[in-house]
Homo-oligomer: A and B are copies of this chain.
Amino acid sequence: MSKEITSRSADYSQWYNDLILKSELADYSAVRGCMIIKPYGYSLWENMQAALDKMFKDSGHVNAYFPLFVPKSLFEAEEANAEGFAKECAVVTHYRLKADVNNKGKLIVDPEAKLEEELIVRPTSEAIIWSTYKNWIQSYRDLPILINQWANVVRWEMRTRLFLRTTEFLWQEGHTAHATKEEALFESKQMLEVYADFAENFMAVPVIKGIKTPNERFAGAEDTYCIETLMQDGKALQAGTSHFLGQNFAKAFDVKFTDKSNTLDYVWATSWGVSTRLIGALVMAHSDDDGLILPPKIAPIQVVIIPVYKNDEQKNLIAQKVNAIIKELKYLNIKVKYDDNDNLRPGWKFAQYEMKGVPLRLTIGARDLEKNVIEIARRDTKEKSSVDLNNVVKTVVDLLEGIQLNMFNRAKQFRDEHITNANTWEDFINLLDNKTGFVSAHWDGTAETEEKIKELSKATIRCIPFDAVKENGECILTGKPSNKRVLFARAY
């Protein structure tokens, strides 16, 4: 594997694309804006899914599956939601192809197979799900409904980026129904905590939890909670959102229930989702010019062992020694790979696993065997050490924990160093242009000012942090009074 990826300093954006391709996470496809998630990338996604799925189930949720298509009449029922997604909808209009009589072997869309009602390929599933919940909910006894769905969705994006913004992407979407506003609010905040927990403790990516401004809300929501992360180039990335939908969808689909006192009321709703976009965040938060750096908890390969030998005798001796270690590591559920492929040189393998971000690389040669040691190299710090073979399992376990923690701390330090207060417009622009990262500033609370700031600075309000403290100040743009700072950034 040649190491020819662009450096971050030369072109961050190109570095990202090169890295995704070279590390074999994904590939471009023949379909505009759609990508192929390659086996290594999909294995990473499976690990992320497994961890999230367990968290969802532990918090009382169950999985189900709803149709890919949404009839137009259902799609448009919740008007704010429909309006928000209308410009990004792939639309199925026909259900049959036929032979092209003018072009042998080719097919054309059969004009006689036009659908009476067009079908929208789901950009999100509130409409199809709430049209179903109507049939499932009569009484408070039918509530809450706590359903999650793992699915593909399609949003026709004009500018796409691998993982970060693709026409089709994989995600999970939770859709819950509740008897009270309080319960729905609790649910939407709880799921944001689940996302924050996952991002910080599995992905090793620190987050800021907060609430979106009305401008940045999910179309159809009363409130959108979000986790915001910071990439190494100082740009922010929204990593997950949880929406309190109020009674908007219940009203659009006429979903009512009788409560304990026999009163009829509309049902309260939430929805929440994270997607394969998280892989983009993971890559940009941690990786370096030599490749990915993956956190041990979700790495497809946690430990790679590479034997260095000159002949079959040496190879066999090493294998004998190493097999016992592999067995022990596997017993501890550590994902270990032994790469004794004869066709590739050790140096090539080193570079390859570095590119793929494997947290620990163990190398053992004939001389190590004599000394009863093995060399352990950390991917995160590139530190190497020679470890006695009798201590290797314990050392590996400790190092994997240490790497997970170090990656989080390193990302958190970078993030914390990139949250800066601005009190004047000049400072504000200067920080965005030169220091980058989050800029904490006062804002007068109007959508108009928010739009104007975005237009002038290309920065958006990422969120109003949950932990924002009351502080009187003046709007960075208009000078009007404000009672707390919000977080601005240029963002993905």
Contact = CB atoms under 8 A, between A and B. Distances in A.
Interface of A: 27, 29-31, 34-39, 41-43, 45-46, 62-72, 74-76, 79, 82-83, 86-99, 105-107, 109, 118-121, 128, 131-132, 135-136, 141, 147, 151-152, 154, 156, 168, 170, 343
Nearest to A153: B68
A216 B63 CA distance: 35
B62 A29 contact: no
Contacts of A38: 64
Q: How many copies does the complex hold?
A: 2
B29 A66 contact: yes
Nearest to A103: B76
A106 B76 contact: yes
Contacts of A98: 86-87
Contacts of A39: 62-64, 147
A202 to B, nearest CB: 19
Nearest to A95: B156
A90 B109 CA distance: 10
Contacts of A107: 72, 75-76, 82, 86
A335 to B, nearest CB: 12
A214 B397 CA distance: 56
Given A39-B62, A68-B168, A97 B120 contact: yes
Q: Which of the listed residues A72, A119, A131 has the most CB atoms from chain B within 10 Å of its own CB?
A: A119
Contacts of A89: 95-97
Given A82-B97, A91-B96, 11 more contacts: A29-B128, A30-B67, A31-B67, A31-B119, A37-B65, A69-B90, A69-B168, A79-B105, A86-B96, A91-B109, A152-B152
